[in-house]
Amino acid sequence: MAVTTIAKPHRGLARFLHRLRHGRDSAQRQFVFGSVSPMVLYMTFFTLFPMIWGLALAFFEYSARRSGGPILGLGGDNPFVGLQHFRNMLNFAPDAPLEIRQFHISIKTTTIFAFLIVPLNLAITLPLAVLIESVHKRLKGIFRTFFFLPVLAPSVGVALMWGWIYHPQRGLLNAIRTAIGGKLVATNWTGDQSLTFLGIPVALLAVIVAYLWQDMGYNLVIFIAALQGIPESIKDAARIDGANWWQMFTRVNLPLLKPTIMLASVLTMIDSFKVFDIIQVMTEGGPNEQTRVLVLDIYNNAFRFQRMGWAAAVSFVLFVVVMAISIVQARLLRTEWEY
Amino acid sequence: MTSATLTKPSLMHRMRYRINLAYFILIPASIVAALPFLWMILGSFKSGREIRKIPPTFFPEEYTLENYQTIFQEEDLPLDLFYRNSAIIAIANVVQVLFTSSLFGYIFAKFEFRGKALLFWFIMATMIIPSQVMMIPGYLILARLKLINKLWGLIVPAAIDAFGIFLFRQFSLSIPNELLDAARVDGASEFRIFRSIVLHQLRPALATFGMLTFMFNWNAYLWPLIVLTEQKVRTLPIILTWYSNMHADQMHLTMAASVLVVLPVLLVFLFTQRWIVHGITLTGLK
Amino acid sequence: MSKRFPILLISLLIIASVVLGACKAAEPTPAPPEEGKPAEPVTEEVTLRVWTHQNDAFNEGYANLAEAYMAEHPNVTITFETFDYDTYIQTLQTALPAGTEADILQMFGSWVCSYVEGDNLAAVPSDVLSMDKARDTVFSAQLAGYICDDTLYGIPQEFNIEYGAVLVNTRLAQEVGIEDIEEGWANWDEFIADAQKLVEKQDDVMIRAGYHFTASDAIPATFYSLILQYGGQYLTDEGFRVNTPEGKQALEFMISLVDAGVVDPVLFNDEENWVGDAYFEELTAIGLVGPWVIPEYAADYPDIVDVTRYIQLPSFSDEPVFVASSGWGLTVSARSQVKETAWDFISYAVLNPENATQWNIASGTLPALKANAAGAGAEKLMAEFPYFEPFLAILEYGQHEGHFPDRDLVWYEITYSRILNALQGNMSVEETLETLEREVNESY
């Protein structure tokens, strides 16, 4: 791949250069060997090795609290349990052990979370991108900056901010409702498990709103760039044909943006399957586990309750989910190239 | 909804109308988007008494800087120490990741060696693996290397960034070979060529990717939360949650601390936003 | 093919050596006999590392003791490393098998046995404190947590109490016309009547609770103490049992408190308006939480502290029995190279009644030593913390909560969340008790 054709050089020189680049020149070999071999060592130790270790853990009843066997503490007090963890995941009995039910809850919650985030995100960012793209050039940058700022804020800060917006007695949201209604309201947005909207816990929706607020800037910026990439000639042609705003959006922008939208959806979905920060800070998975997501489940099991073997098995599930989405992404990218 | 009125007027007229409509939506939307920030900043200037009012006030009745003074004076919260920890980790990681990414990106783009395809495939494959999947074995390795509760623990395992290598390989492909060969003919060593020619060519990419890496490290929460449990080595994001736990109902202090953590990032961004936005549109990376 | 992977091969070899080497290092290595025991000259420089959880008042107490000890022993240097509560557990759990821990580890009594399991903690040498002497000097509720398989692994410093007496804001009580609140309550009906008067509502929203007992320590403490007071036991020979008549009585009583309107468990619990915050913000007039909260809030809320009294709760049994966790104390790592010095410091800090009192005063905690709950020690403590009085009177009725493999899981993840669920009206009494019993038994 690194071969580039050299524009008509002298034949001898070409051979010389070719040898320089691909041949047995010891300086180059030294350079490559000297750089690549430490990297290979490093990656074997810090990437490959933990991958294998993590996978192995999923087959053991492992807790870092126990010393266990001679190799990596596996075996002995940390016995090999084979596929037990994965079999347990399929135990859907209502009286299954707590961590299994918590796993089921986290899978369900994470899926709802991801499948709500993607359409909501697109429904906001796409029109917003078109609107921003349509305003004066100078203001365009200002608006873009504005909506992009939350992306850069540490998610912990975002979670604290929104936690205080949702605070039942001192939050902004209830204050606005109190001001409008003239009657004190103290809805506990993130803590009242009896509240649902269309069957979805309100606490989960509250977290989703905060997540959307922080996350949408990415897609916005990507869509604005994609819109700028649409050739002016196509837009002009549509305008001359008398297309209105809506027609421009549905007939010109959307079809041309389709590959970008697909890609952005996939990336957004992968990220929402990995959500942790906002939820851990805002609700810790509560109320009554209504916002318990996969990474929180992994974190709690591994680092609070020392069920590392089980947590590794749950991590493996997360890996499979993300990989499945990534494969879809690869397919989408390929179709994009075909155009 | 506006199509009926839009069909008649001239093109110019129509465009102006549409743009006005855009402002109608964009300006309120920006206000809504800015509200959380405003709520935080205004909260940080309210007194402890005012912040406990039910229902709360929006604008402070009286602006006070007391909260900022308090959090800077608090002895168990040496903010400067946490700034320092965050900065050390972020800067060290930016430097090493830029170095390794550009070096290996360049090598993958311009050299042939045994096992190259396999290695490249492996590095690309690691991009798919969520970092959360690696956190348990990663933590156990650090525990064995005795790097838990050391700033090194966040630096040592972070030297290779698969995405960075991929990115710099793409950029290095466009470096003309003539340039490299000319240097070789002049007798420059390979490392010298990398240092003075390749890095020079990769400058814009280095700036963009450096910013993204910095941001990522500065804001990181989960991994530092696991690795840095001792008080004096913690970074800003994890100190912020500790702070809010300790002062659960002293929201005025928490908000002031949040402002101090969020603000530097936003300021840096305002000066470098071109690079970051460019980087994100270029890469789709977070 | 094989020629292609020399680098990989070498790296695999290196990893293998690191893995095995690190494992060796990670194995619990008893102190090397050749240099540990025979001669530890007094003049030798010794550094004692101490790990504690982040609590300013506690750590000030430690700092004072360490300073005094170092003045007496110039060859000893004591250094402290602190962790916030949540991460302290995580740190201990992984540092211990990795062998990176300090010499002296501050432990919550209820955790001790789970660390003993991996041979991580050193037993208390009998010349420092024999088991018999320990039973004579330390309250059994506090000692129990430190005894694993009839061996003592540490010494508690405080009596951890989360039940028995409640924080009462006497100013608010007077405002609503309760003049005699400091005289206490003869029975629960009187208590509930007062608590109801202290509730404040606006537009049907509870803006001040009467009695906040719905935090994550208060719920288990109340529930299990009530079971004892009703004459039941939750730890039996057949395991953990709460789906019993007494368990039902206890839970139904707690629900009746909610039904009486003294607290809204949706707005007042552990996540929202935690009892310490709520009490000092005057969002609740009565709160159930141990006396350790007062030093935590004293600096920020001096005027509230002035009007605060702890008042004994009514009891369903003649003796006001209650459940207690074993509190904070000190243990020594099994791998420490300076065990002798470590135990010497611990006995100086914990077993010397005067020093123990001094630490209790600095940290605002109740004494674990029986001797300090009465007499001179008690007087000193009460001079500093008058609100200790109702607690000192009932310490002897404390019963240890029992050994659980993972006490925090049982207490917070299971008991607190299930019972809060029932109090919020989202689950029936029967279902709650059944779930609770099953989930706790699973954790064994």
Instruction: For A82-119, write each residue's pLDDT tens digit.
Output: 999 999 999 999 888 889 999 999 999 999 999 999 99
Residue C31 has pLDDT above 50, yes or no: no
Report whether A49 contacts C16 (CB < 8 A): no
Give the single-character DSSP code of A242.
T
Cα torsion for B220, B225, B231, B234, to the nearest 10°? -20
Provide the shortest C-alpha distance from residue A40 to chain C (in Å).
7
Residue with tokens 């710099």: B168
A170 phi-psi bin (left φ>0, alpha ψ -120 to 50, beta other): alpha
Give the pLDDT of residue C245. 96
Q: Alpha-carbon distance C133 to C131, whole Å?
A: 5
CB pairs under 8 A between B and C: 66
Q: Nearest chain B residue to A308 by CA: give it.
A: B136
Chain-chain contact of A170 with B123 (C-beta, under 8 angstroms): no
C192 vs chain A: nearest CA distance in angstroms? 24
Q: How confident is the model at residue A19 (pLDDT cuts 50, 70, 90)?
A: low
Asked if residue A1 has pLDDT above 50, the reply is no
Specify the 3-state DSSP secondary structure of A286.
coil
pLDDT for A10 equals: 56
Distance of CA B48 to the CA centre of its chain: 32
Tokens standing for A135?
Answer: 């305003």
Chain centre distance of CA B23: 30
| Contact status of B173 with chain A (Cβ, < 8 Å) | yes
Neighbours of chain B (3+ CB pairs under 8 A): A, C
Is the pLDDT at C441 greater than 60? The verdict is yes
The Cα–Cα gap between A311 and A299 comes to: 8
State whether residue B190 sits within 8 Å of chain C by CB: no
User: Which DSSP symbol is given to C114?
Assistant: H
- Residue contact B144–C300, C-beta within 8 A: no
Q: Is C90 on the interface with A (CB under 8 A)?
A: yes
Digit-coded pLDDT (tens) for C277-320: 899 989 999 999 998 888 878 888 899 999 999 999 999 999 99
pTM for this predicted structure = 0.86
DSSP tag of C360: H
* Residues of A in Cβ contact (< 8 Å) with C406: 305-306
Reported as a pLDDT band with limits 50, 70 and 90, residue C88 is: confident
Longest dimension (CA), chain B: 77
B38 close to A (CB below 8 A): no
- Among A322-326, B266-270, C432-436, the minimum mean pLDDT is found in B266-270
Nearest to A40 among C7, C28, C207 (CB): C7
Domains parsed from chain C with CATH numbers: 44-160+325-399 (3.40.190.10), 165-322+404-442 (3.40.190.10)
User: Is B136 within 8 Å of chain C by CB?
Assistant: no
Average pLDDT over residues A70-81: 85
- Which residue matches tokens 């696991």? B226
By the 8 A CB rule, do A128 and A220 touch? yes
Tell me the domain boundaries of chain B. Answer: 3-69, 72-283
List the structure tokens of C178.
Answer: 């309760």
Q: Is residue A320 scored above 90 in pLDDT?
A: yes
Query: Residue B229 has what pLDDT?
Result: 85
Helix, strand, or coil (residue B181): helix
The torsion angles phi and psi of C52, rounded to 5 degrees, stand at -135, 165
Cβ–Cβ gap B22/A134 under 8 Å: yes
- Tell me the pLDDT tens digit for each residue of A151-189: 888 999 999 999 999 999 889 999 999 999 888 888 999
**Which stretches in chain B have pLDDT values below 70?**
1-20, 247-249, 279-286
Give the model confidence (pLDDT) of C160-214 as tens digits.
999 999 999 999 999 999 988 888 999 999 999 999 999 999 888 899 999 999 9
Nearest chain C CA: its distance from B2 CA (Å): 44
A10 touches chain C (CB under 8 A): no
Residues contacting A132, CB < 8 A, separation 6+: A140, A143, A144, A147, A220, A224, B22, B26
How many Å lie between the alpha carbon of B219 and the closest alpha carbon of chain A? 5
User: Strand pairing partners for C52?
Assistant: C82
CA of residue B200 relative to chain centroid, distance: 24
Tokens 């709460």 label which residue? Answer: C242
Q: Check whether A336 has a pLDDT greater than 70.
A: no
Q: Answer whether A32 sits within 8 Å of B111, measured CB to CB.
A: yes
Q: What's the confidence (pLDDT) of residue A81?
A: 93
Contacts of B242 in chain A (CB under 8 A): none
Is B229 in CB contact (< 8 Å) with chain C? Answer: yes
Distance CA A220, CA A311 (A): 35
C288 φ, ψ to 5°? -100, 105
User: Which pLDDT score is estimated for B18?
Assistant: 56
* Confidence check on the interface: ipTM exceeds 0.95, yes or no: no
Give dist(CA C223, CA C217) in Å, integer: 10
Residues 6+ apart with CB under 8 A from C66: C50, C78, C80, C345
Q: Give the angle subtended at the CA of B50 by the CAs of B46 and B54, to the nearest 5°.
A: 130
Tell me the two tokens of residue A174. 């209830």
Among C83, C90, C272, most A C-beta atoms within 10 A, so best to mutate, is C272
Contacts of B145 in chain C (CB under 8 A): 22
Which of these CATH numbers, 1.10.3720.10, 3.30.360.10, 1.20.210.10, 3.30.70.1060, describes B72-283?
1.10.3720.10
Q: Where does C272-428 have alpha helices with state H?
A: 275-280, 293-298, 302-306, 339-346, 353-363, 375-384, 389-394, 407-408, 417-423
- Report the b/e string of C67-104 with b at 16+ CB within 10 A: eebeeebeebebebbbbbebbbbbbbbbbbbbbbbbbb
To the nearest whole Å, the CA of A273 is away from the closest chain B CA by: 10
**φ and ψ at A97, to 5 degrees?**
-55, 155
Q: For C283, name the nearest residue in chain B, comparing CA atoms only.
A: B52
Of the partner residues B140, B146, B231, the one whose CB lies closest to the CB of residue C54: B231
Q: How far, in Å, are B33, B70, C89, C348, C370 from residue C331 at the CA level?
A: 52, 36, 14, 13, 20
For residue B103, the distance in angstroms to the closest alpha carbon of chain A comes to 8
Mean model confidence pLDDT for chain A: 86
* CA pair distance C105, B262, nearest whole angstrom: 36
Kindly determine whether residue C27 and residue A186, on different chains, have CB atoms separated by under 8 Å. Answer: no
- How far does B190 lie from chain C, in Å, by closest CA? 21
> Which structure tokens are listed for B265?
């990032």
Domains plus CATH for chain A?
99-338 (1.10.3720.10)
**In sequence order, what are the residues at sequence separation of 6 or more whose Cβ sits closer than 8 angstroms to the Cβ of residue B176?**
A4
Residues B34, A158 contacting (CB under 8 angstroms) = no
